[in-house]
């Protein structure tokens, strides 16, 4: 799909698949190796994402781990993000920075104070104020659905995309929500139907990285799910996925390179 998003006045080309590296500034993430809780750890993770070929960075400070009894407070999420974004600002990182939050006040702070480039919202705008924040600031928005079936997700996307368009939102990325609100069978059925989401003419992000749909199918745990992640990422690429959101950047980049080589050979 030939598509660009406007990142602070700079057009970011998404005609080829992108790899979004995950930077978790949490103590609760389901994948323990991804937890970065100090300035030094954040700095090292950012350098790793860049050196391994990542083209976007997604910073999250409020874990959606389903086993948590209580969500991170807004104050704690804000504090963690401010620490990480200050480090990223000092590093003069040129990659688009996405903020994984569903809270409008957090989103606005990150955009206005730290010039965050994208808002990644797992709640599909449960608090409608977040739609106004991204529209008013001209910030690209990732719209994720927790609905379980293709038909329900399509209906939700149609409604929410129209709400965003009515507010003047231009750049929207769709995320079917793998790992959220679905049974194992529903996850894999949606993967087989991934190409159906391009009816909207918008880029699609997928996030399988080390999630339960992998290790509950083949055994193991999050720590042993790298190979399964790579397999699902590769399947998603063949279905047209535009962004792979991953913990393991190097392996995802290699998948994209091999996929691109196949596409180029096919076009000759």
- Which residues are tagged catalytic? 211, 245
- Tell me the CB-side half-sphere exposure of residue 162, using CA atoms within 13 A: 5
d(CA 77, CA 140): 21
Would strands 18-24 and 141-144 be described as parallel, antiparallel, or unpaired? unpaired
- Dihedral in degrees, nearest 10, Cα atoms 15, 158, 117, 226: -70
Q: Phi-psi category of 131—alpha, beta or left, where left has phi over 0 and alpha has psi -120 to 50?
A: alpha
Three-state SS annotation for 159-201: HHHHHHHHCCCCCEEEECCCCCCCCHHHHHHHHHCHHHHHHHC
Task: Say if residues 209 and 245 touch (Cβ distance below 8 Å).
Answer: yes
Phi, psi for residue 72 in degrees, rounded to 5: -60, 135
Count CB-CB contacts under 10 A for residue 94: 8
On whether the CB atoms of residues 127 and 103 are closer than 8 A, the answer is yes
Q: Give the Å distances, CA to CA, from 189 to 12, 76, 94.
A: 31, 37, 37
- Angle at 141 (CA atoms; ends 62, 129), nearest 5 degrees: 70
Beta carbons of 156 and 200 less than 8 angstroms apart: no
């Amino acid at each position: 799909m030939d598509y660009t998003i406007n990142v602070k006045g700079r057009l970011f080309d998404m005609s080829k698949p992108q790899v979004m590296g995950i930077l978790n500034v949490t103590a609760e993430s389901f994948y323990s190796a991804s937890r970065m809780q100090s300035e030094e750890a954040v700095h090292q993770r950012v350098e790793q994402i860049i050196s391994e070929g990542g083209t976007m960075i997604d910073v999250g400070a409020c874990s959606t781990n389903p086993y948590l009894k209580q969500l991170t407070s807004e104050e704690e999420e804000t504090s963690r993000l401010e620490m990480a974004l200050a480090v990223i600002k000092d590093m003069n990182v040129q990659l688009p920075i996405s903020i994984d939050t569903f809270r409008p006040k957090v989103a606005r702070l990150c955009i206005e104070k730290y010039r965050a480039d994208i808002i990644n919202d797992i709640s599909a705008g449960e608090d409608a104020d977040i739609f106004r924040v991204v529209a008013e600031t001209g910030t690209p928005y990732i719209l994720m659905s927790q609905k379980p079936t293709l038909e329900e997700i399509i209906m939700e996307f149609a409604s929410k995309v129209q709400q965003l368009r009515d507010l003047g939102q231009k750049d929207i990325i769709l995320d079917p929500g793998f790992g959220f609100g679905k049974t194992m069978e529903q996850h894999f059925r949606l993967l087989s139907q991934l190409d159906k989401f391009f009816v909207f003419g918008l880029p699609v992000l997928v996030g399988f990285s080390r999630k339960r749909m992998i290790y509950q199918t083949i055994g193991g745990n999050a720590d042993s799910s790298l190979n399964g992640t790579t397999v699902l990422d590769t399947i998603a690429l063949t279905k047209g996925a535009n962004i792979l959101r991953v913990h393991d950047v190097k392996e995802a980049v290699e998948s994209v390179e091999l996929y691109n080589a196949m596409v180029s050979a096919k076009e000759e």
